[in-house]
Chain A
Amino acid sequence: MSSHQVTAADTSAWGGGASPYATNSKKFGMWLFIISDALTFSVLLFAYTYCRVSNPDWPKPFDFFPSIIFSSVMTFCLLSSSLTMVMAVHSMNNGNRSSAAKWIMGTMAGGAAFVVLHGIEWSRLITHEHVTPGANPWGVPLFGATFFAITGLHMTHVIIGVIYLGIICQAVMRGKFKAEDVEVAGLYWHFVDLVWMFVFPLVYLMSANVNH
């Protein structure tokens, strides 16, 4: 997988004094956080899927139009913000700080658009479909509880990510922080995107209401 050249230092990578992963500690720390957070989300999504599959009467409140189209646009926002984040890391690696700051701002715009669209989607469910974490018209209270827990936790991650990127962005513009700091922020942002790649099919597409 790696194409690094074997040197004398590499042969004793586990003997101490060498970096066995050839990465800085910030990046490794973020990876450890991502793996533990991935377990949190996979447990929640597994619990949702278990409930969904074991209940033939599971509610299907997401009409293909507008809900599924709407959440597809949200997916597009998040995927595109991942691309701009990669570009920001790329610019930063090339030492182009102003370009990196612009790409990070683009990423924040994608994340903010996602949060706004998700907020509209939530308010539609709460006011029109009368779904709350404790009750809904279809008599399956678990739906609201699991739906708001999963999407709420994910949205919290997106909001934290936008704030995190804002801090990184102003530091990059002022000439502070190194390329590795932008890369670590990028890792977090891609993870948020990655989680949505599972929330979208498991929560939205599995409970879509399609009338042919």
Chain B
Amino acid sequence: MSSHTEQVEHIQHATTGTFSKIWVALLVLTAIEVYLCYIQLATVLMLTLLVGLSVIKAAMIIAYFMHLKFERFSLFLTLFPMLIFCILLMLIFLGDATRIPSMRPPS
């Protein structure tokens, strides 16, 4: 393996079989999301489940399709903690959104 040149270095990590498995897993998770939509849960519960499943799907796409799992960890550390932190800061406000409907004056 150590004699590999720069161009061939990527190939050893993931095979086409792995990619196909990831693709099937993504389709299955999408099907679960559509099923959750079909059975119609309470708004906040459904939002949590859908976003949770989507984060798993996003992680699979980033790790395997976008190859980040096989890059140096320093690349991940440079890019993602900032992004995750900014998104979490926004989510602080989401609690307000869930309270607003119950704060309406009776009509």
Taking Cβ atoms with an 8 Å cutoff, the residues of A that contact B are 1-2, 4-5, 13, 20-23, 28, 31-32, 35, 38-39, 42-43, 46, 49-56, 64, 68, 72, 75-76, 79-80, 82-83, 85-87, 90, 93-95, 178-179, 183, 186-187, 190-191, 193-194, 197-198, 200-202, 204-206, 208, 210, 212
Contact = CB atoms under 8 A, between A and B. Distances in A.
Interface in B1-35: 2, 7-8, 10-11, 16, 19-20, 23, 26-27, 30, 33-34
Contacts of B74: 13, 20-21
Contacts of B98: 53-54
12 contacts: A21-B78, A35-B83, A72-B34, A86-B64, A178-B7, A194-B58, A200-B30, A201-B51, A201-B53, A205-B36, A206-B47, A212-B40
Interface of B: 2, 7-8, 10-11, 16, 19-20, 23, 26-27, 30, 33-34, 36-38, 40, 43-44, 46-47, 50-51, 53-54, 57-58, 61-62, 64-67, 69-76, 78-80, 82-83, 86-87, 90-91, 93-94, 96-98, 100-101
Given A53-B94, A80-B23, A197 B58 contact: yes
Nearest to A10: B72
Nearest to B78: A21
Given A68-B34, A86-B65, A201 B54 contact: yes
Contacts of B82: 35
Contacts of A190: 61-62, 65-66
